[in-house]
A and B are shown apart, each in its own frame.
Chain A
Amino acid sequence: MTTLDSRPVATPAPDNYLTFTKGILSWVLTLDHKRIGVMYLVAVLSSFFVGGVMALLVRTKLLFPGEVSWMTAEQYNKAFTLHGAIMVFLVIIPSIPAALGNFVLPIMLGAKDVAFPRLNLFSFYLWIIGAVCAVYSLLAGGFDTGWTFYTPYSTTTEAGGVIPVLVGVFILGFSSIFTGVNFIVTIHKLRPPGMTWFRMPLFLWAVYATAIIQVLATPVLGITVALLVIERAFNIGIFDPSMGGDPVLFQHFFWFYSHPAVYIMILPGMGIISEIIAVHSHRHIFGFRFIAFSSIAIAIFSFLVWGHHMFSSGQSPLMNVLFSAITFSVAIPSAVKVFNWLATLYKGSISLNTTMFYGLAFMFLFTIGGLTGIPLAVLSTDIHLHDTYYVVAHFHYVMMGSALIAMIGGLHHWWPKMTGRMFSEFWGKIGCALVFVGFNVTFFTQFMLGSQGMPRRYYAYQPEFQIYHHISTGGAYIMGLGFVITAIYLIHSLFAGKKAPANPWGGASLEWQCTSPPPHDNFSSTPRVGDCYDFSAVHWDEKQQGYVVDTEAHVAAAGKGH
């Protein structure tokens, strides 16, 4: 027996996953991880649109310091709550793992599918049911609790939609758990020969770390919202102080999940950026092991820092001190990642395309987001900044400026792979620039608002803050325009885009070795694994208008070690 197969793995197949079977039923009942990923993507982006409209409504109201006739305080409260809940539970948490992860994880790993395809489809439909619950909660009167559902406000508010949306969050939690279970098992058990842990792309390390958090933290959220539903319905006295309960206990339980959830959102984004920076610099990622282990470190530390959301809540000063100290430990692996990405640019050959623009935008925004976390982790300054716009700006820099920008960067990175079409680079750069500028105008202003003491979740505010709100709202419109342009050129590319080559960017990981779009079974034969960050065997091919990987040389180079 010599070699398994000397053919290039990516033989152009007439049938890809999009055309493999036809009809609406072939989509809604599909077990193909790629189709499920695409369905997630459509669902998540639709929710992103709704959440974005809510954000613009909120920002538009804030142009005016006082009351406005077209939006009452109750409506405003419901609008920002809906914005937060949609963006967190329906958009950011599932965006990268469930949408992009589902699509690329098995291909990058060299597997034919995730370990449990039926569970995968089931968790997609759990997402749909959760989203339906959220929509139903609007019909039932909406909810105005803030996405954090703090008791006793959430157990006593008259808004009728609190229980339905909590049921929705519970179900969405299980959707997230099942995705996590699927990914952990897929990464453990479905790696082809040669795909060792340290040849696995960093995106998979990040998704693996994320899946651990999903599996271990989400059940606590499930129990917490279940208890909240019971408390609201039956007034049992767990959280409600009028029945002997403890409202601060709710915050502990809530943040025990929701702080790790922050890393469910950002870790996969970091994974995508590791891919983007390496591939588009055509250069081996710097410090693979440090980046990989920093993901795991972040996952572990994320469970120990929840109390830093509660420095002013009345928890004991000792706990405040401990939580503050541990919080800084999360800063280190995050900083390590940024420095490694910088070092990856060094002596690279950097393609300045739309995808790389998003990667660089991420580094810029994440640096600000991370650094502004420091005054929030410091006890004495957090007391001043807590629950002001400073916090709002900080977590938007991390959640949106980092996690969502990474998601959109990843979408561009893998768009040719998913759709088989190239998007317009020109409009791509315009869209990215508008989003980047709009984002900074919107949220950097809010750092100033916050440190000057403007509390968050305010319907009306003092006139002195108005100028900042005007700038911020202006930025939001610019950002909105950027997203509209992005949506237009991406959709346009589906119909009129150039056919994508198998490897448009010069990547060396496995997903670039199958056709664009990939065939139904991903790989016609067991793929051969080299070092996915070794670009020495990647060459430009004029005929295909894309890069090709010389598999023999690639695998041989990896065998020699580096």
Chain B
Amino acid sequence: MLNLIPNLLMQSSSDATLATGQATTPKTFWMPEGASTISREVDWVFNFINYINYFFFVLVVGIMLYFVWKYRQKGREVYARGPSHNTMLELGWTIAPTIIVVVIFFMGFRGFVDMKTPPSNSYQIDVTASKWNWSFKYPNGATSNDLYVPAGKPVKLVMRSEDVLHSFYIRDFRVKQDVVPGRYSSLWFQADEPTGSDKFHWLFCTEFCGKGHSDMNRHVYVLPEKDFDDWVVEQGRWLDKIPAEELYFKAGPQLYARCASCHTLDGKPSTGPSWGNYDGSGNIWQRTDSKTSTHKVDGKSITDLVGDGKAVPNAQSYIRNSILNPGEHLVDGFGNVMPTFRGQLTDKGIDALIGFMQHLDEFDAKGQWTKKPAGTAAAAPAAK
């Protein structure tokens, strides 16, 4: 009887696996087959604890059933005269479990330290969670909805949430991390075995986030390193498919997301100057393009720098230069901290960002396109 149920279960789960194209199949009732470098250690600890648990469960229940049978009441008039305490025994079964749990704690602690220490050569992918989407962004600006990772290379995910708590969980990799709005969280893993693009690992959201919580799952594809490099370049060309006139609102917000950690749109200076209106000289486009701008760059007015016959012929060139060569001109009050985006942004991407800046009043503070100008109020101070 006990053997029958496992057989039934095994049968059906492997059927389901074939049908859905998962890269791994559960070999036992417990953990599915691991597919990352840390999974072996996690599984080992889990199995170790399980065997300890089996032992203690059989011990406790076995003794219980034996005693219940052996010492069952016979007749009514029975008063049982067992020992009421035994200090050595008590101390024994207090100290023995203590030793066991201390050992178990250190085993889990070691695995956890590995889990929390990404190697320094990790390949970084930015993750944005929102209701009810995952969005992945690769170093070259390519984005995707399913996660693609190179095989045999440590991958570090830097994650943020746009609304509520989410939790990033790839069960075959044994990794999980909550994604918290208002802060960045990260995790890393390394998957050595490629799945190809026809098989995958599941990615689940494991922090309850509302109606679409259970739909917030994605596929994770592990590609051989060379295939991955090709894929990420190909994926990076997504911009080419967008018509020029739609570029600023289709690609702009997605591209801006990479700038958002340093450049706000609401006028509040962060690591870099805000693209919004922050020093009274209009938003980034207005203060760069305006002939009357009071914006200061390198200690003097930007109007001395940008314009016909000056060092920089026009605002477009100035912005393009600032993205590719950030250290050349510095806005007053800000240091030379911005990395160059040379090689990460194509010309079309820069076009999209410039368009985004030109139409900044069509976007809300988070860079989402609101379709109509958000109000002339933002432009008013600059117009005066």
Contacts and interface: CB of A to CB of B under 8 A. Distances in A.
Interface string B87-101: 001100110011001
Contacts of B20: 462-464
Contacts of B238: none
Contact of A467 (B12, B172, B217): B12
B185 A314 contact: yes
A466 B42 contact: no
B207 A284 contact: no
B312 interface: no
Interface in A1-58: none
B169 interface: yes
Contact of B104 (A360, A378, A452): A378
B73 A455 contact: no
A375 interface: yes
Interface in B100-142: 101-102, 104-105, 107-116
Interface string A356-380: 0000100110011001101101111
Contacts of B174: 380, 383-384
Given A281-B80, A453-B32, A349 B73 contact: yes
Contacts of B204: 453, 455
A351 B77 CA distance: 12
Given A339-B93, A467-B9, A367 B167 contact: no
Interface-central residue, B64, B80, B86, B204, by most chain A CB under 10 Å: B80
Looking at chain B, what size class is its interface with the partner chain?
35 or more
Contact of B210 (A153, A343, A377, A453): A153
Given A247-B181, A452-B32, A73 B176 contact: no
A285 B84 contact: yes
Nearest to A367: B60
Interface string A531-556: 00101101110000000000000000
Contact of B45 (A335, A336, A380): A380
A468 B109 CA distance: 31
Contact of A536 (B79, B110, B205): B79
A170 B185 CA distance: 32
A521 interface: no
Nearest to B169: A455
A348 B78 CA distance: 9
Interface stretch (B23-31, B147-155, B273-281, B373-381): B23-31
A385 to B, nearest CB: 8
B165 A535 contact: no
Interface in B148-170: 163-165, 167, 169
Contact of B111 (A146, A287, A380, A462): A380
Given A248-B180, A283-B82, A379-B112, A346 B49 contact: no
Interface stretch (A99-107, A252-260, A317-325, A409-417): A317-325
Given A312-B176, A375-B45, A538-B79, 5 more contacts: A73-B214, A247-B180, A348-B71, A453-B202, A467-B9
Across the A-B interface, give the 7 residue pairs with the lowest CB-CB distance, nearest first.
A380-B111, A453-B171, A241-B182, A378-B108, A464-B16, A379-B112, A347-B82
